[in-house]
């Protein structure tokens, strides 16, 4: 079986590559990073190290395609593939859509069955978003040869600093949940994937617990001058803030999806334990990357905060505190953080928040943030 995976980065090599290889796929990584692609083609394998244990997994039979310079090869690979996956970042999906559209057009001239394209990004409806971009380019008829099931992925894979360029250190925990309903034909047999009828509870529980909590560690940590997640998690005030923030998102999730309270509390504690993993070295700059995206109206901070107000009829004070920390996050090497600072300088903090979220003064979260800024 053949898979094309867009994004030979941390989650691509450290998670999706591992599971696809284990399930018998030959994985071709498509990326714009020529150094990584050349190394993949030379070495044809890499090692995944499980942080905190001696476990190692060899991922072999892999190769790379430069997604811009080798466009013809990429189209041919998509034409013949059994599966396409992505882990490039939500903002990059529109940039890979033309390559996927070109490959699918070639495929439409063959008898090959419809190709599942699964986006593995931290966002709600990632594959659906990619589908919209591809349809915009190639037209609705392209859905005759493809399908775009949504998915949720969970494994903390920090930025890597290994002697061998392709090797990846990962936490042992992982979860990959894929929605069944959009598949055309047989579900791919991927070891470790859970197929579900309705992804919404899974993606919201993941994004509004793991990623909301992670964002709270990063932005609170940055505010206190910490550079690593380790330093931030060693500060009891930060950990307490994270726990209280997750109690707020927990109330929203329990009210919306009927999760059992005790088991959700255990899920929260498990996640705080994962942030505390002494064997993972992760940075505030990675976890806090892209603050404008993270402050988006459907993302990990604003969506649960607004739902909390609508459901509980009170302000989620800890989520609001995290939003305030995110709004003042600074990092001169992060383009979104630089833009956020410019917006704040030009429009003030509240103006920047309204600009990013598209919300206006009538919104109760905007009102609550305005009160905080008074
Ligand atoms: N790292 C994690 O812990 C983790 C966990 C779950 C989900 N995710 C999600 O996975 C996605 C990727 O995150 P990551 O941490 O692996 O980031 P990363 O930066 O390590 O990897 C992204 C890769 O995409 C490549 N890329 C960028 N533009 C491209 C383009 N136009 N065409 C092809 N490749 C391109 C980059 O060169 C890079 O190799 C994000 O959506 C992230 O939210 C990450
Ligand atoms: O990838 P982002 O920028 O959406 O979020 C940063 C981290 O919270 C994220 O990468 C987590 O490590 C991951 O989502 C864990 O599954």
Q: 152 C-alpha vs ligand 2 centroid, how far in Å?
A: 11
The per-residue pLDDT for range 315-366, each reduced to its tens digit, is 999 999 999 999 999 999 999 999 999 999 999 999 999 999 999 999 999 9
Number of domains present in the structure of the chain: 2
Q: 302 C-alpha vs ligand 1 centroid, how far in Å?
A: 23
**CATH number of domain containing 153:** 3.40.50.720
**Same domain as 182, residue 226:** no
Task: Choose the final residue of a domain: 164, 198, 232.
Answer: 198
Q: Please indicate whether residue 291, judged by its CB atom, sits closer than 6 Å to ligand 2.
A: no
The per-residue pLDDT for range 236-282, each reduced to its tens digit, is 999 999 999 999 999 999 999 999 999 999 999 999 999 999 999 99
Residue 86 phi/psi, 5-degree rounding, is -140, 145
**Same domain as 217, residue 192:** no
Task: Find the largest Cα–Cα distance for the chain.
Answer: 64
- For residue 212, pLDDT over 90 is answered with yes
The per-residue pLDDT for range 83-101, each reduced to its tens digit, is 999 999 999 999 999 999 9
The per-residue pLDDT for range 161-185, each reduced to its tens digit, is 999 999 999 999 999 999 999 999 9
Q: What is the mean pLDDT of the chain?
A: 97
Q: Please indicate whether residue 92, judged by its CB atom, sits closer than 6 Å to ligand 1.
A: yes
**Same domain as 297, residue 270:** yes
**CATH number of domain containing 237:** 1.10.1040.10
Beta bridge partners of 27: 3
Residue 90 phi/psi, 5-degree rounding, is -55, -40
**Same domain as 356, residue 253:** yes
**Same domain as 249, residue 320:** yes
Is the whole model's pTM more than 0.90, yes or no? yes
**Same domain as 238, residue 325:** yes
Q: Residues 66-81, buried b or exposed e (16+ Cβ, 10 A)?
A: bbeeebeebbebbbeb
**Same domain as 166, residue 223:** no
Ligand 2 atom nearest the C-alpha of 155 is 16
- The ligand whose atoms approach the alpha carbon of 119 most closely is 1
Q: Please indicate whether residue 282, judged by its CB atom, sits closer than 6 Å to ligand 1.
A: no
The per-residue pLDDT for range 64-75, each reduced to its tens digit, is 999 999 999 999
Ligand 1 atom nearest the C-alpha of 36 is 39
Task: Choose the final residue of a domain: 176, 198, 220.
Answer: 198
**Same domain as 222, residue 88:** no
**Same domain as 220, residue 95:** no
**Same domain as 207, residue 174:** no
- Percent of the chain scoring above 70 in pLDDT: 100
Where in the sequence is the domain holding 104, given as residue range(s)?
A: 2-198
Judge whether 313 is annotated as a binding position.
no
Q: Please indicate whether residue 10, judged by its CB atom, sits closer than 6 Å to ligand 1.
A: yes
CA 315/CA 243 separation, integer angstroms = 17
Task: Choose the final residue of a domain: 198, 221, 237.
Answer: 198
Judge whether 296 is annotated as a binding position.
no
Q: Please indicate whether residue 287, judged by its CB atom, sits closer than 6 Å to ligand 1.
A: no
**Same domain as 284, residue 194:** no
Taking phi over 0 as left and psi of -120 to 50 as alpha, with beta for the rest, 120 belongs to beta
Judge whether 368 is annotated as a binding position.
no
**Same domain as 220, residue 103:** no
What angle (nearest 5°) sits at the alpha carbon of residue 117, between those of residues 64 and 287? 70
Residue 374's pLDDT band (boundaries 50, 70, 90)? confident
Judge whether 10 is annotated as a binding position.
yes
């Amino acid at each position: 079986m053949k898979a094309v995976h867009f994004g030979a980065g941390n989650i691509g090599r450290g998670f999706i590559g591992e599971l696809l290889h284990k399930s018998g796929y030959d994985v071709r990584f498509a990326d714009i990073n020529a150094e990584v692609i050349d190394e993949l083609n030379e070495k044809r394998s890499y090692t995944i190290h499980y942080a905190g244990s001696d476990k190692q997994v060899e991922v072999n039979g892999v190769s790379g395609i430069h997604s811009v310079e080798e466009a013809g090869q990429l189209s041919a690979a998509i034409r013949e593939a059994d599966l396409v996956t992505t882990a490039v970042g939500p903002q990059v999906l529109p940039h890979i859509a033309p390559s996927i559209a070109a490959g699918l057009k070639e495929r439409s001239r063959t008898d090959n069955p419809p190709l599942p394209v699964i986006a593995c990004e931290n966002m709600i409806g990632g594959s659906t978003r990619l589908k919209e971009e591809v349809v915009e380019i190639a037209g609705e008829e392209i859905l005759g040869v493809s399908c775009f099931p949504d998915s949720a992925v969970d494994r903390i894979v920090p930025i890597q600093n290994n002697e061998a360029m392709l090797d990846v250190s990962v936490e042992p925990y992982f979860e990959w949940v894929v929605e069944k309903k959009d598949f055309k034909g047989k579900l791919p047999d991927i070891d470790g994937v859970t197929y579900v009828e309705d992804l919404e509870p899974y993606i919201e529980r993941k994004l509004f617990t793991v990623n909301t909590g992670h964002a709270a560690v990063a932005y609170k940590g940055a505010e206190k001058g910490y550079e690593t997640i380790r330093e931030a998690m060693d500060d009891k005030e930060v950990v307490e803030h994270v726990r209280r923030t997750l109690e707020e998102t927990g109330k929203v999730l329990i009210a919306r999806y009927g999760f059992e309270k005790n088991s959700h509390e255990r899920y929260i504690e498990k996640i705080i334990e994962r942030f505390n993993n002494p064997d993972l070295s992760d940075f505030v700059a990675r976890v806090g990357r892209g603050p404008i995206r993270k402050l988006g109206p459907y993302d990990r901070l604003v969506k649960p905060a607004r739902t909390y107000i609508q459901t509980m009829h009170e302000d989620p004070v800890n989520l609001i505190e995290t939003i305030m920390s995110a709004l003042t996050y600074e990092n001169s090497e992060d383009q979104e953080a630089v833009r956020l600072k410019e917006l704040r300088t030009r429009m003030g903090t509240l103006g920047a928040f309204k600009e990013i979220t598209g919300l206006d003064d009538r919104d109760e979260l905007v009102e609550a943030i305005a009160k905080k800024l008074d």
